[in-house]
Chain A
Amino acid sequence: MRMKFSQILISFIITLALLIGLEIVTSTILPALGWKEYRLTFNVLIILFLAIRMDSPLVPWLILGLQMIHSIFSIEGWALGTLAGLIVMMSANYLKEVLHLTTAFMTMLTVQLFQVIWYVTVTLVICLKISDFDKFGLILWSFIPGSILLSLISPVLFWMLGLIWRVPSEGGSRGVEI
């Protein structure tokens, strides 16, 4: 299935709005309710959806756009996540024959696997930037609880994003070509 540019634009704007809503939940509502220790990094989940389920030359630019919005809510900035997103996207391309997100469990498992790739990349770059590899394990470990929660949420969010991007829920990993 091929999407028109106008459809892509609309889907992307809806995705950005969803990301802003979820970022506000993570940065304001959950801390206000006392949940401060672990963050649910929804930008990772949305980018994983695009990286795993979409097959398009535009995906890198969509990732960049999403990360620009994420940088409003985090000093992490846009660049780190963009690089991690690209690496995840390329890994997903190599593994596309074995990726079948047909059940909720498979979705969770796949999301957890790609989150590990994402966080290893991010942690490596942070350690390089701060010139301190002693903290590698500590930083990586800080991602784990949040990433497990995200994996549990992923089937629901992937279903919602599937509706936004008109990706069929069954039939292999690559839904839409744009």
Chain B
Amino acid sequence: MKTYMKTLLAGLAVMVPLATPSLANTLRWSSAGDVISYDPNAQVDSFTQSVHHMVFDPLVRRNKDLVLEPALATSWEVIEPNRWRFKLRQGVKFHEGQPFNADDVVATIQRQIDPGARNRENLSTVTGVEKVDEYTVDLILRGPYPLLLNDLAAIYMMSKPWMEEHDALKPGNASTGVVTYASNHANGTGAFKLKSYEPDSRSVFEVNKGWWDKPQHNLDEVEFRPIASDATRVASLLSGEVDMIAPVPLQDADRIAATEGLKVVENPSLRTIFLVFSYRPELHAAPGKPNPLLDVRVRQALWHAIDADTIQKRLMRGKSRTAAMLVAPAVTGYDKSIDVPLPYDVDKAKALLAEAGYPDGFKTGLGCPNDRYIADEQICLAVASMWAKVGVQAELSVESKTTYFPRTDKGEFDSYLLGWASLPPMDGFSPLQALLATNDGVFGGSNADGLSNPEIDKLARAAAVELDEAKRVDLLKQAFRITHDQVLYLPLHQQPVAWAMSDKVDMPQFPDEYVRPWFAQIRK
């Protein structure tokens, strides 16, 4: 009882306003989830990787326009189709003082391609690495591969002596149960040093004064706090405990924007939302009958039946970008002339259905997650009612992502909602390889619904090894044109990314949803 009274009295005594302005420029920001681990090779979580980028540098990185540029490598050349030579930046130091050189790159790449690395596949084409001299390194590839730089932009350089000292040369991994010193500590060359890390509470970073690059930010410290509950995250912004939250729950965006001293920044992201069709002989909804979706006229009719404007204005509050391709404008392979949706036209849709032999429509299943994409369940409800207007009855099946995605993987839906961001490579080859090509164990990893188009398969295989960038992009565009003409998928929109921040913070927003504090400015 006495302890309690003391606690209470102490608590009452300290009830003074919280917002104590500090002298240093500290950016405090919050997101829904925490970093899973500070080990770059122990996870495949894109949010975790985005936070890692504050502490670590890759060999090549994305600049403010998301174009690849030299980072820890200053130049590179393709010596042979399967051997790339990288010249390394000199005079770079890790946070704990170790100089950066070829040995670190060799150790990092070996750690990355170790069979025990969880993100082994992020550099799947690299089979080996060789030191040429103190500042030159060769990467050995399985064969010609045009996207090596895209892959390397997500491979963070670690210090070899540091890993040796802490017995962390092997990556941490869930399947092997390996936990290393690198899980909770980080020593990179990046713009910020990891000062402290409390799981599910906060990570504190301080500016790296010895960074090799000229800082474009004016921060002294960054404090990251995960807050899982949407309402609490918004509350902590409103109360001034954090300067920025990303993402903002869409339903709170207007309220925050109306609050003095706060602003909401919204832009379309890379994540494209689209509908997937089944290409199996029969639909689950109508066993024993041929699958109507195999007819291109039916698929066109389903697209004509979608009122994209209503979805954009009503469900997405005008913040999404209506799409007709599987990739967003920032992704290589995008083509404005392809990105034209079939117009909303109920009569045309009915005519096409009648022409295909379904004047009274047909029955199909429609699968949908309710906790993965923005307004996912509402989008499906809207689609189902729009299809109903042309006579297509969609039996809606809505469930949580944890049970939904295993089902999409097994091809249990006749049609379903899916999102694709083409990350980390940010290249059109990502959907071409995983969604469009026939599923054969290597290609078509996310094409579980029997889609098989020989022309696309040919283009995918050609694009996989084409080192001439102009030719390669042309191959991608050819594949996307076929996708559009054949309506192999039904694209809906790119969903928005929404952040809210104090008026005093200038933080550029990127469609890949990465928070990049090394471009942030804070005004007093």
**Genuine A/B complex:** no
> Interface residues, chain B, CB within 8 Å of chain A?
none
